[in-house]
Structure formats: C-alpha cells, structure tokens
Amino acid sequence: MKRIAILFITSMMAASAGAQSIIPKPDPAGFGREGKITGDAARRIVDKFAACMLGRHRMLVLEALALPSGSNEQNEALPKLMNSECLAPGNLHFSAVTFRGSFYKALVRARFARKPAPFGLEPTDYLKQPLLAGESPPIPSVAELLNFASCVIHKDPGNARDAIVSAAGSPKEDAAMAELAKVYGQCLFTDQTFRFSKEILLGLLAEAYYREANASAQQSGNP
C-alpha cells in the first residue's frame, strides 16, 4: 500500500489534493441561512439523540442497524426513529449515513468507553466476512469503506477508540484524529482516495469497531 491522501469535506468543498494527509479542524458551531445548527454543535446534538434512543429504544435501534448498511431498506428505516421523545423540536437535518454512524458511536461508548475492545489479529474484509446471527452484510460500497475503517482501528486501536468515545469537537477528539491521520495512508491502495466529513469517518470507525469487538466477544463466549 502507498501513502496517499484522505480528503475531508465539510461544506461540499473538496480539500486540496496536493497534501499527503489533511487533518480536519473542528467545525465552528453556527447557524445556516435557515437557522440550522451546524458543525461540532450539531454533532453533539446528534450524539446525544443517539445515546437517548439507545437507552430508551435499544431494540428498535438494533433492528435498524441489523439491516444491510447503506441499503435502501436501512436508509428508510433510520429516519423513522426520528419520531421520538429523544429529539426536541428543532431544525436539525442529517443523512442516513450520519444517523447510522451516531448509533454505532453510542454503542461503542456504552460498551467500551472504559474498557478497550478485543479484536481479531487481522482487519476484517467486509466483502467476505462471516456474519453473526441477525446481521446483514453491508452493501459493497459501504463494505469497501468499512475495510478501510477496519484497517485503521487495527493499526491504532487506542486512538480510534478515543476518537469515537470523546465529545465532538473536544481536544481529546482532535488529538486522537491527528494521530489516526498518520496511519490512513497505510490502509489505502495506490491511487485510492476517499472523501469523508469528520462525522462520517468517525461513524465508519465506530461501526467497524463495534462490529468486530462484538464478533470477538461472541466468539469468546462473552457477549
């Protein structure tokens, strides 16, 4: 594998393609033209909502996540969870992929915030992995992204976990993300480039982290 760029996009603007790695700076909290909450403030609200839903409606969340990641079925199921006492009236909008990632972050925080997760020796190939009971395979395009995320969490599991469990926009999250940026190039093939927002990248890391930690725990008889 060859070190190449990971490009982070925050406002539909591509980052410079000339740098070898681009570490995103914290997005400032602010409001768009329609009064929408944006940046790290929005990420904190989404994370709080996901934690509330996981606490109050865990089975509904797990049922939605059991659908193939990135599929039309899951993309239709996730927004239905918005109708909940966990979300105060407001004008917060986010995509299904962001929504999915926020739930996986909540799962990692609930289970592994204090104790690191056990993993297998090698990164998972999500195009080939055997599934646990009740799981569905991600669609191929998402599987490719999860392969990248799996490589990253195996290269630096400590900073991956810190990035996932830390508060959005916190110094600890920024420090962990800066360290993770050093291994991205080791997880990409020559001429392969991914474009992520910070929230989507963290969601992918959280999904890979939780799936693999959960599989390892079940295989060891400690679910």
Full DSSP string of the chain = ------EE-SSS-PPPTTSS--PPPPPPPEE-TT--EEHHHHHHHHHHHHHHHHHH-HHHHHHHHTSPTT-HHHHHHGGGGGSSTTS-SS-----HHHHHHHHHHHHHHHHHSSSPPP--SS---TTTPPPPTT--PPPHHHHHHHHHHHHHHHH-HHHHHHHHHSPTT-HHHHHHHHHHTTTGGGGS-TT---EE-HHHHHHHHHHHHHHHHHHHHHHTT--
pLDDT at 2 (0 to 100): 37
4-13, 83-92, 134-143, 206-215: which has the highest mean pLDDT? Answer: 206-215
pLDDT at 166 (0 to 100): 95
Q: Give per-residue pLDDT as tens, 24-37.
A: 333 433 344 454 56
Q: Is it the case that residue 58 has pLDDT exceeding 90?
A: yes
Q: Is it the case that residue 62 has pLDDT exceeding 90?
A: yes
pLDDT at 16 (0 to 100): 31
The domain segmentation of the chain, as residue ranges, is 29-219
- For residues 111 and 124, give the distance between their C-alpha atoms in angstroms, rounded to a whole number: 20
pLDDT at 133 (0 to 100): 58
The pLDDT confidence band at residue 188, using thresholds 50, 70 and 90, is confident
**Average pLDDT, stretch 121-143?**
81
Average pLDDT, the chain: 78
Q: Is it the case that residue 216 has pLDDT exceeding 50?
A: yes
Q: Is it the case that residue 130 has pLDDT exceeding 80?
A: no
